[in-house]
Amino acid sequence: MKTAFLGLGSMGLPLARHLLQAGHTVTVYNRTRARADLLKQLDPVIAESPAAAARGAEVLITMVADDAALEAVLLGDQGALPALPRGAIHVSMSTISPALSRRLAERHHAAGQTYVAAPVFGRPEAAEAKQLWIVAAGPPAALERCRPLFDAMGQGTIPAGEDPARANVIKLAGNFLLAAAIEALGEAFALGRKYGIAPAELLDIANGKLFRSPIYENYGKLIAEQRYEPAGFKLRYGLKDVRLALAAADEVAAPLPLASLLRDHYLSAVARGWQEIDWAGLARVAAADAGL
């Protein structure tokens, strides 16, 4: 399938590689050309602009940092949307607001194109190992047409209905739950440390006897070992996602008091200069507040 892929960061690069390895014709674009050059051995077409990448594509995939970055590559100077052919599908795999997802669906419909939201659950190492879960929402025919691409990139696709914004809300709700787990681990470990209980000891009891959760296991180890660099998912993006969840909640008058607490703790981490560490580093705030 003739595919354009925009955004070759820590998530996008392995996904584009999987598509090329599966035999798809892929044109790639990244704001920093050096990232695209990392795929040269797989012989992609490297475009000089989002518009150049989108021309002639059957499917356009975007994996960028946030709402502003997505609007820039689609609607900015040399943006992809005007260059994308009628009948093509745009698959947005970024974690963005449901509000932007709705606007993009409208813009693509007006241009004779189809929009699919397909955010993912998983860190960069999961992307490398094809272990991502893809949450996909959009017209059924478009989802079916994209299935070979989804199968090449992840371990499974979770259908989320015909309204693309549903996939974005599921993604934000999931990331809110992950952030809440990180906060709980950080506070519990801080309490244990004040009484001389090692985080690894407490984690072994909590995850071995109480929860048996891969989330507690993976993030618990990062926090117990204070292994926050290099960042798999930067703390500043955790703050971004919590803000998106709060904005989505505001739209429908759904109070999220815990999300408000998480936002404030992420802001506290940013104020301490920790925005570039892994978002599991939120636990540092609980430790610092406890004098550790």
| Residues catalogued as catalytic | 171
- As a whole number of angstroms, the distance between CA 257 and CA 290 comes to 22
- As a whole number of angstroms, the distance between CA 79 and CA 93 comes to 17
182: left (phi over 0), alpha (psi -120 to 50) or beta: alpha
For residue 134, the SS3 value is strand
Strand partners, 133: 121, 156
Q: Where are the beta strands (DSSP E) in 133-236?
A: 133-136, 156-159
Cα torsion at 155, 114, 79, 110 (round to 10°)?
A: -160
- As a whole number of angstroms, the distance between CA 179 and CA 171 comes to 12
The sheet with strand 89-92 has its strands ordered as 45-46, 25-29, 2-6, 59-62, 89-92, 114-117
Cα torsion at 106, 110, 113, 117 (round to 10°)?
A: 0
83 token code pair: 């260059």
